[in-house]
Amino acid sequence: MKIAFIGLGNMGLPMAKNLVKAGFSVAGFDLSGAALQALEAAGGKAADSAAEAARDAQVVVSMLPAAAHVKSLYLGGGQGAQSTQGLLAQMAPGALIIDSSTISASAAREVAEAARAKGIDMVDAPVSGGTAAADAGTLTFMVGGDGAQLERARAVLEKMGKNIFHAGDHGAGQTAKVCNNMLLGIIMSGTCEALQLGIANGLDPKILSEIIGKSSGASWVVNSYNPCPGTLENVPSSRAYSGGFATDLMLKDLGLAVEAATDIRASVPLGGLARNLFAMHSAAGNGKLDCGSIFNMFAVAKP
């Protein structure tokens, strides 16, 4: 089976490599020459454009930064001489699109609807797990689309991930992702507050983390991604918040959550506050650091 992979960034490249490793013929495209070379070195094929990568592909996988890129890729856009044709106009009916970008559910539905009109199947399949899971092929996929479409996608998804969830119809994968990541942002900030409060009162954060990790405050964050330096090895907080899930990406996902809530007049008071805290943290110059660095924002001044 021939697969086109569009978007070879920190997440996309290791995902594409796992598809190569699984024996698929993978043609990739990215604006970065270094990313293309890395794919070729791993046994994939570098294409000159998304259209070239997608030629004759039965499956197109995309992993792009935001809705604008996804829409531009599939639907084209621009005006007059700057206008571009989208992939949908060039793909053969019967092809399958797997979009793993994190975008709004409404944007996902818009593209899926346009694909359907061309006889092309599309699922939204955003991921959880970060670069470590992308490398290891242990991502969690949250899939939106009908059941038959998910079954078509499964053979590809299971080479990149361990858990494949059928969240619901088109857009539901994105909704599940945004709900999860909003909660991640809340738990991350809250865990930082709790640990700093303990530290300022004389507790050892490692001991406090062990206690919380076996109590009712336990979470994936405190047990597997602890934001306090010195509590866990091999997590971003143990290497000066490098690598990991950047503050600016967390801010983007919290923004999607807040917009989704605003659209339907939902109340997300903690989610909204977390977005504002990460916005302040980013504006203070920490956008590229792992999101756990918000730990520093709650440090208590020594008297």
Residue 145 binds a second copy (CB under 8 A): no
Min dist. Cβ of residue 48 to a second copy (A): 30
Residue 226 binds a second copy (CB under 8 A): no
Selected binder of a second copy within 100, 149, 181, 231 (CB under 8 A): 181
100 or 181: whose CB is closer to a second copy? Answer: 181
Q: Could you tell me the maximum CA-CA distance found in the chain, to the nearest angstrom?
A: 68
Buried b (16+ CB within 10 A) or exposed e, 262-273: eeeeeebeebbe
Residue 68 binds a second copy (CB under 8 A): no
Q: Say which residues have a Cβ less than 8 Å from residue 291's Cβ, sequence separation at least 6.
A: 185, 188, 244, 245, 246, 247, 249, 250, 278
Buried b (16+ CB within 10 A) or exposed e, 126-160: bbbbbeebbbebebbbbbbbeeebbebbeebbebb
Residue 51, both tokens: 């259209």
Residue 270 binds a second copy (CB under 8 A): yes
> Is residue 2 flagged as an active site residue?
no
Residue 228 binds a second copy (CB under 8 A): no
Element (H, E) at 20: helix 12-21
Single out the segment in contact with a second copy by CB under 8 A; choices: 20-28, 71-79, 89-97, 169-177.
169-177
Rg (CA), the chain: 20
Residue 246, both tokens: 């950047």
Within 10 Å of residue 31's Cβ, how many Cβ atoms?
A: 9
Q: Which of residues 284-303 bind a second copy (CB under 8 A)?
A: 285, 287, 297-301, 303
Q: Which of residues 19-48 bind a second copy (CB under 8 A)?
A: none
Q: Which of residues 146-165 bind a second copy (CB under 8 A)?
A: 163, 165
Total residues interacting with a second copy, rule: CB under 8 A:
87
Selected binder of a second copy within 176, 228, 249, 289 (CB under 8 A): 176
Selected binder of a second copy within 1, 68, 89, 197 (CB under 8 A): 197
Residue 298, both tokens: 């709650």
52 or 248: whose CB is closer to a second copy? Answer: 248
155 or 280: whose CB is closer to a second copy? Answer: 280
Rounded Cα gap, residues 64 and 91, in angstroms:
19
Residue 282 binds a second copy (CB under 8 A): yes
Q: If 0-12 CB within 10 Å is exposed, 13-18 middle and 19+ buried, where does residue 122 land?
A: buried
Residue 114 binds a second copy (CB under 8 A): no
- What residues pair up with 140 in beta bridges, in sequence order? 128, 163
Min dist. Cβ of residue 234 to a second copy (A): 16
* Catalytic site residue from 17, 71, 177, 252: 177
Active-site residues: which are they? 177
